[in-house]
Amino acid sequence: MAMLEPILATANLTRRFGGLTAVDGVALELADHSIHAIIGPNGAGKSTLVNLLSGELKASAGTVRLRGEDITNWTPDRIARHGVARTFQHSNLFPSFSAFENCRLAAQSRDSGLTHCMTRCLSPAESYREWSDAADRALAIVGLAARGGLSAGALSHGERRALEIAMSLATSPSILLLDEPLAGMGAEESARIVGLLKQLSAGHAILLIEHDMDAVFALADCLTVMVNGAVLATGDPQAIRANPDVQRAYLGADSTLLPV
């Protein structure tokens, strides 16, 4: 049976900052309904790669293709309108807005077009049921339905990270780019997010950057290891676990660092 075309793919993707090559000729394929983890030491180029995929940065060379269409150097809003949502390494919320309002604003961001906006923006956001419905659905999916009335700043750290995922879901994406969603979490909060990501992978393609190796190996269908901006290895968890170059370059010579 023929292989399905990846939903998101890069070829020779490169980003230079002066004399520094932060992302160096990266080839990557993200399959639909899967979790593809990007791992590597600090400074490996992981977040820069996500910034290229989401349009936050322009590529110095190479291509990004979404469902076969070349989207290299599209603007972030155009990429988002085509179904790519992302979260950031550090929380990116409106802390004085309620959790519901944060999600509704995210849903509203997909309702674009100058003529459309000129007519709809004359009325309060509360009058547009589709935005509120999208926000309610997203909060329910991440387990925050009962917390929607609280300000984002009043939520726990884990709840804020879940809210960021909910904001992404409110835009009805097909692809989620998640930059360290488990950062700073305790074991209980991490377990909840891991369960959520497993659930979301049934309906989304997920590109995941994460330093929690136990979570990565529990979640990922495929892993790509980056070192110094370049891809060192790509494969399923078993292949990456057994790869001696990965053990030496990232996880250390002691293979017990790799989750079983």
Architecture of the domain made up of 1-83+176-181+210-260:
3-Layer(aba) Sandwich (3.40)
How would residue 253 be classed by pLDDT, with cut points 50, 70 and 90?
very low
Cα 207 from Cα 87, distance rounded (Å): 11
Average pLDDT over residues 232-259: 77
d(CA 224, CA 245): 13
Strand-pair category, 84-86 with 230-235: unpaired
Grade residue 256 by pLDDT with cuts at 50, 70 and 90. Answer: very low
Q: What pLDDT does 127 receive?
A: 52
Strands 69-70 and 222-227: unpaired
Residue 69: per-residue pLDDT:
96
Residues near 165 by Cβ (< 8 Å), separated by ≥ 6? 87, 142, 176, 178, 181, 193, 196, 200
In 31-76, which ranges are E strands?
35-39, 61-66, 69-70
User: Which residues have CB under 8 Å from 143's CB, separation 6+?
Assistant: 162, 192, 196
Confirm if 7 and 175 have CB atoms less than 8 A apart.
yes
CATH 3.40.50.1000 is right for the domain spanning 89-173: no
Mean pLDDT of 4-14: 92
> Is 43 in contact with 227 (CB distance < 8 Å)?
no
**Rounded average pLDDT over 190-205:** 94
Which amino acid, one-letter code, is at 91?
Answer: S
Q: Does pLDDT of 260 surpass 80? A: no
89-173: same fold as 1-83+176-181+210-260? Answer: yes
Summarised one tens digit per residue, pLDDT across range 129-159 is: 899 999 999 999 999 999 999 999 999 999 9
Coil, strand or helix: which one is 46?
A: helix
> Could you tell me the pLDDT band of residue 206, with boundaries at 50, 70 and 90?
very high
Rounded Cα distance, 18 and 75, in Å: 22
Q: Where are the domains of the chain?
A: 1-83+176-181+210-260, 89-173
Digit-coded pLDDT (tens) for 76-117:
999 999 999 999 877 789 999 999 999 999 998 876 554 455
The total number of residues shown for the chain amounts to 260
Q: pLDDT band for 254, please (50, 70, 90 cuts).
A: very low
Which residues have C-beta within 8 Å of that of residue 250, sequence separation ≥ 6? 39, 40, 41, 225, 227, 232
